[in-house]
């Protein structure tokens, strides 16, 4: 059974293809902008790229892109796809999709798949451990990380755990179906994540508490205002409020979810000073 892995430049897709290759399983890596010779072009917002990417495919690991989802569903059905594992988001159950654009876009993809004849499994991770890479520029230059809510909690999940869960479902479709929320093993504040990352680096990592308006101005060049507002609202609600964790990773992989400390040790080089 050949598996199409979309979002080929993302951390989850890269981990998934490593697992697939390790098992000797056939797969096709797809990306909007392929950066390796073996990858094929599949822009999830461009239906003209779907047919070639889906030819001969029986299972799909799908990133959530709402723009072309109806056409993707139609093309996948025509190609004989039997199972789709969607990388959705826990925002669809924790946020109001009428005001949160992240929740709205993921929910639209979920609904299109569930309305189709495709066997569908929904993976709904919360915060990724890799979100901490957003701090790398400041930390590698010795500047403090600017945080509007340093006490906001999340349970960051290692991208490899998402990929390994997807691997189980793609290779054993009998376990598929339904919606599954994925978290890391601990609820951590941003301040605590910086402490853990600092331990991996062997130095104290500074942060500066700023107002929501100051943070929004900091990210205005690359983060649209509606997404910035949604994040600020989420962090405000989570400030001082621990996040619930799930055992989904262990149920599907047979091992506990990897800790943020593990992620920090594996990725410490991204934060080292030049």
DSSP notation for 5-56: E--TTSHHHHHHHHHHHHTT--EEEEESS--STT-EE--TT-GGGHHHHHTT
Q: Is residue 22 part of a domain?
A: yes
Identify the pLDDT of residue 38. Answer: 81
- Is 86 inside any structural domain? yes
Instruction: Please give the pLDDT value at position 1.
Output: 63
Which range of residues forms the domain containing residue 269? Answer: 127-157+183-274
- 94 and 68 in one domain? yes
* Best CA proximity match to 149, nearest among 71, 87, 236, 82: 236
Name which residue leads in pLDDT, 37 or 76.
76
Alpha-carbon distance 101 to 247, whole Å?
28
**Judgement on whether residues 133 and 189 belong to the same structural domain of the protein:** yes
Position 195 scores a pLDDT of: 98
Q: How many domains does the chain have?
A: 2
List the structure tokens of 192. 């605590």
Give the integer Cα–Cα distance in Å for 268 and 262.
10
Name the average pLDDT for the chain.
96
Residue 35's pLDDT band, with cuts at 50, 70 and 90, is confident
pLDDT (average), residues 161-167: 98
What burial class does residue 233 get, using C-beta atoms within 10 Å of its C-beta: 0-12 exposed, 13-18 middle, 19+ buried?
Answer: middle
Residue written as tokens 């056939």? 26
Residue 19 has pLDDT above 80, yes or no: yes
Q: Are residues 33 and 94 in the same domain?
A: yes
Does some domain include residue 228? Answer: yes
Average pLDDT over residues 26-45: 91
Query: Considering only 30-39, 133-142, 146-155, 169-178, which range has the smallest mean pLDDT?
Result: 30-39
- Verify that 143 and 119 share a domain, yes or no: no
Is there a single domain that holds both residue 81 and residue 142?
no
Over residues 232-262, the pLDDT tens digits come to 999 999 999 999 999 999 999 999 999 999 9
Q: CATH code at 98?
A: 3.40.50.720
Predicted pLDDT at 257: 98
What is the number of other CB atoms lying within 10 angstroms of the CB of residue 33? 9
Segment 83-122, tens digit of pLDDT:
999 999 999 999 998 889 999 999 999 999 999 999 999 9
For 128, the token pair is: 């990724």
Same structural domain for residues 103 and 131?
no
Residues ≥6 apart with Cβ < 8 Å to 71 = 47, 50
């Amino acid at each position: 059974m050949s598996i199409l892995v979309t979002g080929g430049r993302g951390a989850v897709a890269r981990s998934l293809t490593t697992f697939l290759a390790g098992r000797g399983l056939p797969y096709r890596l797809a990306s909007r902008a392929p950066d390796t010779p073996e990858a094929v072009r599949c822009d999830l917002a461009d239906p003209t790229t779907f047919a070639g990417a889906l030819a001969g495919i029986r299972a799909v690991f799908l990133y959530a892109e709402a723009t072309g989802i109806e056409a993707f569903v139609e093309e996948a059905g025509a190609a004989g796809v039997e199972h789709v594992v969607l990388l959705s988001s826990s925002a669809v159950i924790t946020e109001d999709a009428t005001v949160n654009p992240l929740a709205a876009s993921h929910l639209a993809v979920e609904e299109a798949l569930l309305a189709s004849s495709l066997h569908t499994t929904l993976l709904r991770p919360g915060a990724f451990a890799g979100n901490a890479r957003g701090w790398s520029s400041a930390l590698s230059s010795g500047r403090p990380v600017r945080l509007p809510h340093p006490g906001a909690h999340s349970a960051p999940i290692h991208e490899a755990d998402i990929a390994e869960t997807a691997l189980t479902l793609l290779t054993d479709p009998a376990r598929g179906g339904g919606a599954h929320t994925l978290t890391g093993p601990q609820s951590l504040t941003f301040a605590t994540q910086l402490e853990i990352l600092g331990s991996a680096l062997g130095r104290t990592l500074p942060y500066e508490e700023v107002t929501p308006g100051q943070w929004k101005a900091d990210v205005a060049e690359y983060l649209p205002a509606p997404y910035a507002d949604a994040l600020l609202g989420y962090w405000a609600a989570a400030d001082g409020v621990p996040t619930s964790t799930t055992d989904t990773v262990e149920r599907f992989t047979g091992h506990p979810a990897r800790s943020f400390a593990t992620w920090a040790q594996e990725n410490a080089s991204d934060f080292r000073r030049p």
